Chain A
């Protein structure tokens, strides 16, 4: 049996690695569709990489998409169709 401190360090390293890999995998599930949304809106798809930032990354991407003008144009406000 090795030193308990080494054990703990090894265990925490494995845990940290697992958390990082898990975070990247989950972020990938968000990055791929968001990349396409950004491109369709006219932004660089790389904007979706903000999803890699923990906690606030998704808010940054959503904020850019929600509060800036889309270079590729936006739909107008929803208006009822009035017959003439």
Chain B
């Protein structure tokens, strides 16, 4: 009986040892893999150790799917990830000849806004500035009552007439159904069209007021 018990204990001991070694190895490899993707290594180790807890293998499996489809810091532009650097192959000798130049820095974000300029029906001029940050502006024929109101004081312009939206480097325009109509480079924009990207447009027309669109 004693021999059987000893054999059983030995079997479980060996199994346990293999499980321990496997867990440590998997944790180490997971640490290295997530670090190569730009994430902290402990996240990989933690996901492996989670399989030892009551949540079993489900949570690590979910984390594996998240890791596969998430945005990796490695893929971020250099400016957003200061630690990023293409790593040279391990084990390669140090360069002895001319050293390659560092890659150029990422392009600076274009922080310019837009400018709308035009001539009113009464001969006056209008010049409106739209800044680049994410915001929504109302193009209206009334006087500006809010900082986000852009006044085009002309009888043909509705109150409000249209909506301008900025997001990053894009500028959008949405008609609000004013009788005078809204036109992008001569093409009619209807309310049912929804917001349209006018970042590359040259002119927009509100009623009878034509506004030239340029970058500020």
Which residues in window 34-84 of A have CB below 8 A to B?
Answer: 34, 36-37, 40-41, 58-59, 62-63, 65-67, 69-70, 73-79, 81
A-B contact count (CB 8 A): 80
Asked if A69 and B72 sit within 8 Å, CB to CB, the answer is no
* Contact of B35 with A59 in the complex, beta carbons under 8 Å: no
Q: What's the Cα separation between A73 and B87 when bound, in Å? A: 7
A34 to chain B, nearest CB (A): 7
How far apart sit A40 and B67, CA to CA, in the bound complex (Å)? Answer: 11
> Quick one: which of A36, A59, A66 contacts B69, CB cutoff 8 A?
A36
Write out, one digit per residue, whether chain B residues 52-83 have a CB within 8 A of any chain A CB (1) or not (0).
00000000010011011100111000000111
Chain B CB within 10 A, most for which of A58, A67, A74 = A74
Interface residue SS majority, chain B: helix
A37–B81 Cα distance when bound, in Å, is 20
Whether the Cβ atoms of A74 and B36 lie closer than 8 Å is yes
- CB contact between A65 and one of B22, B28, B29, B81 (< 8 Å): that residue: B29
Interface presence of A33 (CB below 8 A): yes
Q: Is residue B11 within 8 Å, beta carbon to beta carbon, of the partner chain?
A: no
In the complex, which of the residues B26, B36, B61, B68 contacts A70, with contact meaning CB atoms closer than 8 Å? B36
CA distance in complex: A81, B79 (Å):
12
C-alpha gap A11/B26 in the complex (Å): 36
B61 touches A29 (CB 8 A): yes
Chain A residue with minimal CB distance to B88? A69
Known: A33-B67, A37-B67, A67-B32. Contact between A73 and B86, CB under 8 A? yes
Number of interface residues of B (CB under 8 A): 33
Chain A interface residues (CB < 8 Å from chain B): 29-30, 32-34, 36-37, 40-41, 58-59, 62-63, 65-67, 69-70, 73-79, 81
Interface check B172, CB cutoff 8 A: no
Residues of B within 8 A of A (CB): 22, 25-26, 28-30, 32-33, 35-41, 61, 64-65, 67-69, 72-74, 81-87, 89-90
In the bound assembly, the distance between CA atoms of A79 and B83 in angstroms comes to 6
CB pair B83 A77 closer than 8 Å: yes
B184 to chain A, nearest CB (A): 39
